[in-house]
Structure 1
């Protein structure tokens, strides 16, 4: 095997390894973001509200959040990209990408800022 062949095999394996690690580290935050959006789509804003981090719950009271969602409720979402994960000084965060379709028929891309609180991943920042 030539040196070029070895480099291609090594680089390809490294890229596959990075993809695997990124995919496995974003699995739980992606599932939490999916649960959040599924709750909103079903009109279950109370369940979705419980999936917000404490900081975001403080910014949006339950009634404000409910009114915000009802103004333009999501009806579907696609989360084909895994996102990114970070652990800085024991604070675990992730960014999960989604395309959200709303009852108005419009679509938008949204980055869900996720944060691990205790054993659960929560949506932080702008909910959608």
Structure 2
């Protein structure tokens, strides 16, 4: 015998669909947050390294132009103490002329309150030879200056 009343089936649950929607929303939020965080991290690093890179490039550009006086002004006080302006100019004149340069990397560090940087450059000389040179810079009176063996 059949019952005149049939029990309606239980309503369909959309658990899988709900889980997939929640997972998708979480994934979009995480990826968006990571992208935004990465952008601000990149801007922060770029803001820290750009001034040091620009100082090193100004120094090398002055050497390329044959302007030893302008390059001398970009030396730190310790290095200027090792080279008189005239001696620096004479030393630069004896070096192979730099035809072009390319920055290969910049590293800025702060150790015990002393901010320093290294800028790695490929210097193409007039002979065609490419010299890999590391410029060491320190921050003096708020400006980046080239220190150590300048060139």
- TM surpasses 0.5: yes
TM-score range, shorter chain: 0.7 to 0.9
Deviation at 1:61, TM superposition (A): 1.6
**Conserved 8 A contact 1:22-1:85:** no
TM-score, normalised relative to structure 1: 0.81
SS of aligned partner of 1:110: strand
Between the aligned partners of 1:27 and 1:62, the Cα distance in structure 2 is 27
2:72 maps to: 49
Specify which of 72, 84, 87 is matched with residue 64 of structure 1. Answer: 87
User: How far apart are residue 63 of structure 1 and its match?
Assistant: 2.0
Structure 1, residues 45-84: CA drift from partner, whole Å, max 9, x if none? 0000000001111112212211221122212111143x11
SS of 1:87's partner is: strand
Tell me how far apart the structure 2 counterparts of residues 125 and 88 of structure 1 sit (CA, whole Å).
Answer: 18
Structure 2 Cα separation of the partners of residues 123 and 108 of structure 1 = 18
Q: How many residues align?
A: 127
* 1:77 lines up with 2:101 in the alignment: yes
Q: Runs ≥4 in structure 1, deviation > 6 angstroms? A: 7-16
Query: What residue in structure 1 maps to residue 50 of structure 2?
Result: 27
Distance 1:32 1:40 in 2: 13
**How large is the RMSD of aligned CA atoms in angstroms?**
2.4
Q: Tell me which of the two structures has the higher relative contact order, counting C-alpha pairs closer than 8 angstroms and 6 or more residues apart.
A: 1
Q: Deviations over 1:63-119 (max 9, x none)?
A: 2211221122212111143x1111123211111111111222221111110101002
Partner of residue 97, structure 1: 120
> TM-score, normalised to structure 2's length?
0.70
Structure 2 Cα separation of the partners of residues 8 and 64 of structure 1: 57
Larger radius of gyration: 2
Structure 1 regions of 5+ residues with no counterpart?
2-6
